[in-house]
Amino acid sequence: MGVTGMKTLVAESDILEDVGFKDSAVIIDGPSLYYSLYFNSKPKLDQQHGGDYSAFRDLVCQFFSSLKSCNVKPLVLLDGGAEPVKNKTVGNRLKDKLQKAKKLSESMAGERDNILPPLVKDVFIQVLQELQVEIQQCFGEADLTAALRANERKCPVLSNDSDFYIFNVQEGFLSIDGFQWETVTQGAIPAQRYRVSQFCRCFNVDEDHMPVFAALSGNDYSYLGKEDGKKFIEKYPEAQQPGGSFTPSKGASKDGSLTAQQYVLKEPPRPNLPQWVIQEIQRASLTSFVTSVVTQKSMTLTPLVEDFSQPSSYSASLRIRQFFYGLLLGTEPCTEYDREGAEDMRPKQVTPVLAGVTPEELQKLELEHLNELVVNCYVGVHDQKEELGKKGGGRIWGCTNMSQDPVNEQEVKQSNVSKSLSLFICIICIFVN
């Protein structure tokens, strides 16, 4: 979401509390953190040549080492893909990223033209798992879940998302920009804490009215001064409670009432997916793309820094994605959003590819039981290596980088499902060719 101008208003209102943060739990907005660590590093990390993952890994380790030294116990939340209501917003962001990627590829980027390298999120998750940091991947954006978990654990949220100026997080909101984790002082991290209650006292408004600020972002709110707070709220008497409706004035958000409802603290709905898929997504062991493909029948291919005179680099992996869609959607088409030329992101209908197996075998590929079949195939590859080789299966070894040493079946079953799913796609290729 994001609330236009809110950060500036808060900074100018002198309501932030200086704190030494220690001996506490904290809910961390994962995307805000890895974006901040990568883009604000000194010296600046590479964005033009695929990314500097080794240096980024070191930064992540240093950050969580600082938290540990101050007895801070984090829970890191990750986004699980954009919600349908935000597709227009996502589309605008993709076009913006496309222009930035093009500037970077031509060495014409400005200071604010940042593009996150494609594997930053994966490296971030891998490091958190190695450090045994508690992690949860959400369904949709993580901000609502972050506010709920913070109130459950009675701790603040650490983020750069201006939505947290609106959410009523009881222990407050710590901005990553003001979180001086590299300067631990007397066993504490210098930080600035924001509380909704302080904001409301400053502007003389009721806490229940806060969502109206988000709903009117960019309109009357942009000119709000301290002395105008109460009069501003009184313009919209219908919005008495979070989720209440009102009629926006000219130039205001057309989706005002919906925007206000998005700040009501309640558990977000879960997608209609098998339980094993939900568990693996929440553990961040399975890519969140699964959620977008199954629930929205869509896949967003984030712009890359590449040669824009050539077709999109994603075209090289189209066949693999078609098998991926076949496993998740069957025969239903999936809409991909990828660049067309150098100027625009366009939707394209992609037809899934199903495995060339018998109808009886095809029934076993249903998503409900796919995890069980993957494990069996994984073990069976080692027992039937010679037979698979006769069918052209020798390519599977290079494709999956699997060891040819004997494999303990129990260890295989404990491996994360995302690796097994990747392997399964390769196994399916054997039957098709």
| Residue 46's pLDDT band (cuts 50, 70, 90) | very high
Contact at 8 Å (CB) between 16 and 194?
Answer: yes
Give the pLDDT mean for 238-255. Answer: 42
The one-letter code for the residue type at 362 is L
Residues 190/20, Cβ–Cβ less than 8 Å: yes
Return d(Cα 98, Cα 68) in angstroms, integer: 38
**Residue 83 in domain:** no
d(CA 269, CA 111): 39
Indicate the residue among 330, 350, 370 that finishes a domain.
350
Please tell me the distance from the alpha carbon of residue 430 to that of residue 433, in angstroms, as a whole number: 6
pLDDT, tens digit, for every residue of 134-151?
999 988 788 889 999 999
Residue 191 lies in a domain: no
Tell me the C-alpha distance between 393 and 429, whole Å.
Answer: 8
Give the C-alpha separation, 168 to 150, whole Å. Answer: 10
**Structure confidence at residue 239 (pLDDT):** 39
pLDDT at 240 over 70: no
* pLDDT grade for 230, boundaries at 50, 70 and 90: very low
In a domain, 136, yes or no: no
Average pLDDT over residues 278-303: 87
In a domain, 404, yes or no: yes
In whole angstroms, what is the distance from residue 350 CA to residue 312 CA? 15
Q: What is the arithmetic mean of pLDDT over 287-313?
A: 88
Residues 293 and 315 in one domain: yes
The model's pTM is 0.77
341, 376 Cβ separation under 8 angstroms: no
pLDDT at residue number 217: 47
User: Is the pLDDT score of 77 beyond 80?
Assistant: yes
Residue 407 banded pLDDT, cuts 50, 70, 90: very low
**Tokens 């604000």 label which residue?**
40
Rounded to 5, what percent of the chain is helix, strand, coil?
A: 50, 10, 40
Q: Give residue 229's pLDDT band: very low, low, confident or very high (50, 70, 90).
A: very low
- 3-state DSSP call for residue 347? strand
Q: In the structure, what pLDDT confidence band is assigned to residue 214 with cuts at 50, 70 and 90?
A: low
> Which among 33, 38, 75 is positioned nearest to 54, based on CA atoms?
38
Neighbouring C-beta atoms of residue 78, cutoff 10 Å: 25
Strand order through the sheet with 17-21: 17-21, 189-194, 173-175, 157-159, 24-29, 72-78, 134-137
Residue 370 and residue 314 share a domain: no
pLDDT digits (tens, 9 = 90+) for 94-140: 888 888 999 998 888 777 788 999 999 999 999 999 999 999 998 87
* Residues 313, 110 contacting (CB under 8 angstroms): no
Which of 335, 367, 364, 372 is closest to 431 using CA atoms? Answer: 364
Question: Per the domain annotation, does 197 fall within a domain?
Answer: no
Lowest mean per-residue pLDDT among 99-103, 113-117, 201-205, 281-285: 201-205
pLDDT at 84: 53
CA distance 208 to 199: 12
Residue type, 139: F
pLDDT of residue 82: 57
pLDDT at 29 over 90: yes
- Residue 204: per-residue pLDDT: 76
**What is the predicted pLDDT for the residue at 252?**
45
pLDDT at 42 over 50: yes
Among the listed ranges 165-169, 328-332, 406-410, which one has the minimum average pLDDT value? 406-410
Tell me how far apart the alpha carbons of residues 297 and 347 are, in angstroms, rounded to a whole number: 12
Residues 79 and 130: their CA atoms lie apart, in Å, by: 20
Secondary structure element (H or E) that encloses residue 339, with its range: strand 334-340
Which one-letter DSSP state was computed for residue 16? P
pLDDT at 362: 65
How far is residue 293's CA from residue 273's CA, in Å, rounded to a whole number? 11
Angle at 281 between CA 173 and CA 416, to 5 degrees: 125
Residues 6+ apart with CB under 8 A from 324: 293, 425
Are 338 and 301 contacting, i.e. CB atoms less than 8 angstroms apart? yes
Stretch 171-182: mean pLDDT = 96
Tell me if 192 is assigned to some domain: no
Segment of 70-79, 112-121, 205-214, 233-242 carrying the highest mean pLDDT: 70-79
Pick the closest to residue 224 from 257, 200, 195 (CA basis): 200
Number of domains in the chain: 3
pLDDT over 70 percentage in the chain: 68
Mean pLDDT for the stretch of residues 3-28: 88
Within its chain, how far is the Cα of 340 from the centroid? 24
Per the structure, the complete domain to which residue 418 belongs is given by 360-432
Q: Tell me, what's the pLDDT at 424?
A: 47
Q: How far apart are CA 66 and CA 141, in angstroms?
A: 27
Domain ends where: 324, 350, 376?
350
pLDDT tens digits along 321-334 = 998 898 888 889 99
Q: Choose the final residue of a domain: 326, 350, 374.
A: 350
Assess if residue 149 is contained within a domain: no
